[in-house]
Amino acid sequence: MSYRVTFVCTGNICRSPMAEWVLRHHVDEEGLDVEVDSSGTGNWHVGDAADDRTTAALERAGYRSAHIARQFESGWFGRYDLILALDEGHLRALRSMAPDEEARGKVRLLREFDPDAAGDLDVPDPYYGGRADFDLVLDQVEAAMPGLLEEIRTAAKGG
Protein backbone atom coordinates (compact mmCIF):
# COMPACT_ATOMS: atom_id res chain seq x y z
CA MET A 1 0.00 0.00 0.00
CA SER A 2 1.23 3.48 -0.86
CA TYR A 3 2.44 5.89 1.77
CA ARG A 4 0.08 8.88 1.70
CA VAL A 5 1.08 12.51 2.28
CA THR A 6 -1.00 15.66 2.07
CA PHE A 7 -0.04 19.31 2.43
CA VAL A 8 -2.46 21.84 3.92
CA CYS A 9 -2.42 25.64 3.71
CA THR A 10 -5.19 28.24 3.82
CA GLY A 11 -6.89 28.26 0.43
CA ASN A 12 -4.97 25.51 -1.40
CA ILE A 13 -3.83 27.72 -4.25
CA CYS A 14 -0.31 28.84 -3.22
CA ARG A 15 1.79 27.02 -0.63
CA SER A 16 0.26 23.55 -0.42
CA PRO A 17 0.02 22.90 -4.18
CA MET A 18 3.61 24.10 -4.52
CA ALA A 19 4.76 21.64 -1.86
CA GLU A 20 2.62 18.91 -3.41
CA TRP A 21 4.26 19.20 -6.82
CA VAL A 22 7.79 19.46 -5.44
CA LEU A 23 7.30 16.27 -3.40
CA ARG A 24 5.61 14.53 -6.36
CA HIS A 25 8.66 15.31 -8.46
CA HIS A 26 11.06 13.84 -5.90
CA VAL A 27 9.10 10.67 -5.17
CA ASP A 28 8.69 10.06 -8.90
CA GLU A 29 12.44 10.53 -9.43
CA GLU A 30 13.19 8.03 -6.67
CA GLY A 31 10.46 5.60 -7.69
CA LEU A 32 8.89 5.70 -4.23
CA ASP A 33 5.34 4.41 -3.75
CA VAL A 34 3.91 7.63 -2.35
CA GLU A 35 0.57 9.32 -3.03
CA VAL A 36 0.75 13.09 -2.68
CA ASP A 37 -2.00 15.72 -2.68
CA SER A 38 -3.01 18.93 -0.96
CA SER A 39 -5.94 20.93 0.37
CA GLY A 40 -6.79 24.05 2.35
CA THR A 41 -8.31 24.80 5.72
CA GLY A 42 -10.78 27.21 4.11
CA ASN A 43 -13.25 26.92 1.25
CA TRP A 44 -12.63 30.25 -0.53
CA HIS A 45 -10.90 28.75 -3.55
CA VAL A 46 -12.51 25.30 -3.83
CA GLY A 47 -12.58 24.36 -7.51
CA ASP A 48 -9.99 26.97 -8.53
CA ALA A 49 -6.66 26.29 -10.19
CA ALA A 50 -3.43 27.10 -8.40
CA ASP A 51 -2.48 30.77 -8.30
CA ASP A 52 -0.70 31.73 -11.54
CA ARG A 53 2.31 32.87 -9.52
CA THR A 54 2.56 29.44 -7.91
CA THR A 55 2.47 27.77 -11.30
CA ALA A 56 5.07 30.23 -12.65
CA ALA A 57 7.45 29.61 -9.72
CA LEU A 58 7.13 25.85 -10.18
CA GLU A 59 7.69 26.08 -13.94
CA ARG A 60 10.76 28.31 -13.52
CA ALA A 61 12.25 25.62 -11.29
CA GLY A 62 11.41 22.80 -13.70
CA TYR A 63 8.43 21.29 -11.88
CA ARG A 64 5.11 20.22 -13.39
CA SER A 65 1.84 21.52 -12.02
CA ALA A 66 -1.85 20.73 -12.38
CA HIS A 67 -4.22 21.55 -9.57
CA ILE A 68 -7.82 22.04 -8.46
CA ALA A 69 -8.23 23.47 -4.95
CA ARG A 70 -10.21 21.63 -2.29
CA GLN A 71 -10.86 21.93 1.42
CA PHE A 72 -9.53 19.46 3.98
CA GLU A 73 -12.31 17.48 5.65
CA SER A 74 -12.17 15.98 9.14
CA GLY A 75 -13.09 12.54 7.77
CA TRP A 76 -9.83 12.42 5.81
CA PHE A 77 -7.46 11.74 8.71
CA GLY A 78 -7.68 8.01 8.09
CA ARG A 79 -6.57 8.45 4.47
CA TYR A 80 -3.14 9.85 5.28
CA ASP A 81 0.05 8.71 6.94
CA LEU A 82 1.42 12.26 7.17
CA ILE A 83 -0.46 15.58 7.10
CA LEU A 84 1.85 18.56 6.63
CA ALA A 85 0.71 21.99 7.72
CA LEU A 86 2.41 25.00 6.14
CA ASP A 87 2.14 27.22 9.21
CA GLU A 88 1.17 27.18 12.90
CA GLY A 89 -2.38 28.34 12.14
CA HIS A 90 -2.95 25.36 9.85
CA LEU A 91 -1.34 23.07 12.42
CA ARG A 92 -3.74 24.26 15.14
CA ALA A 93 -6.76 24.04 12.82
CA LEU A 94 -5.91 20.50 11.73
CA ARG A 95 -5.16 19.25 15.22
CA SER A 96 -8.46 20.72 16.46
CA MET A 97 -10.29 18.81 13.69
CA ALA A 98 -8.56 15.53 14.49
CA PRO A 99 -10.87 12.88 15.95
CA ASP A 100 -8.25 11.39 18.30
CA GLU A 101 -4.63 11.47 19.45
CA GLU A 102 -3.47 9.14 16.67
CA ALA A 103 -4.86 11.54 14.03
CA ARG A 104 -3.33 14.56 15.81
CA GLY A 105 0.03 12.79 15.72
CA LYS A 106 -0.06 12.64 11.92
CA VAL A 107 -0.08 16.45 11.69
CA ARG A 108 3.32 18.14 11.47
CA LEU A 109 4.82 21.33 10.10
CA LEU A 110 6.64 21.00 6.78
CA ARG A 111 9.61 23.06 7.94
CA GLU A 112 10.26 20.62 10.80
CA PHE A 113 12.07 18.64 8.10
CA ASP A 114 14.47 21.49 7.26
CA PRO A 115 17.47 21.20 9.59
CA ASP A 116 18.44 24.81 8.85
CA ALA A 117 15.02 26.25 9.76
CA ALA A 118 15.46 28.03 13.05
CA GLY A 119 12.73 29.28 15.34
CA ASP A 120 9.88 30.24 13.01
CA LEU A 121 8.76 27.13 11.15
CA ASP A 122 5.98 28.88 9.22
CA VAL A 123 6.10 29.04 5.44
CA PRO A 124 4.86 32.60 4.83
CA ASP A 125 1.74 33.16 2.76
CA PRO A 126 2.85 34.73 -0.53
CA TYR A 127 -0.68 35.56 -1.74
CA TYR A 128 -0.43 39.34 -1.24
CA GLY A 129 3.16 39.47 -2.39
CA GLY A 130 5.05 39.20 -5.63
CA ARG A 131 7.44 36.91 -7.44
CA ALA A 132 10.10 37.07 -4.71
CA ASP A 133 7.55 35.89 -2.11
CA PHE A 134 6.59 32.86 -4.21
CA ASP A 135 10.26 32.10 -4.87
CA LEU A 136 10.93 32.23 -1.10
CA VAL A 137 8.13 29.72 -0.51
CA LEU A 138 9.61 27.44 -3.15
CA ASP A 139 13.06 27.75 -1.55
CA GLN A 140 11.63 26.83 1.87
CA VAL A 141 9.68 23.89 0.44
CA GLU A 142 12.74 22.58 -1.37
CA ALA A 143 14.89 22.95 1.76
CA ALA A 144 12.52 20.63 3.64
CA MET A 145 12.50 17.92 0.96
CA PRO A 146 15.64 15.93 1.90
CA GLY A 147 14.44 15.54 5.50
CA LEU A 148 10.88 14.81 4.41
CA LEU A 149 12.03 12.18 1.93
CA GLU A 150 14.13 10.53 4.62
CA GLU A 151 11.08 10.47 6.93
CA ILE A 152 9.00 8.89 4.16
CA ARG A 153 11.64 6.28 3.32
CA THR A 154 11.97 5.33 7.00
CA ALA A 155 8.20 5.16 7.56
CA ALA A 156 7.65 3.17 4.36
CA LYS A 157 10.15 0.57 5.61
CA GLY A 158 8.19 0.25 8.81
CA GLY A 159 10.11 2.40 11.18
Indicate which residues carry an active-site annotation: 9, 15, 125
Q: Counting Cβ atoms within 10 Å, is residue 78 exposed (0-12), middle (13-18) or buried (19+)?
A: exposed
DSSP collapsed to 3 states, the chain: CCEEEEEEECCCCCHHHHHHHHHHHHHHHHCCCEEEEEEECCCCCCCCCCCHHHHHHHHHCCCCCCCCCCECCHHHHHHCCEEEECCHHHHHHHHHHCCCHHHHHCEEEHHHHCCCCCCCCCCCCCCCCCHHHHHHHHHHHHHHHHHHHHHHHHHHCCC
Q: Give backbone dihedrals phi and psi of 136, rounded to 5 degrees, phi first.
A: -65, -45
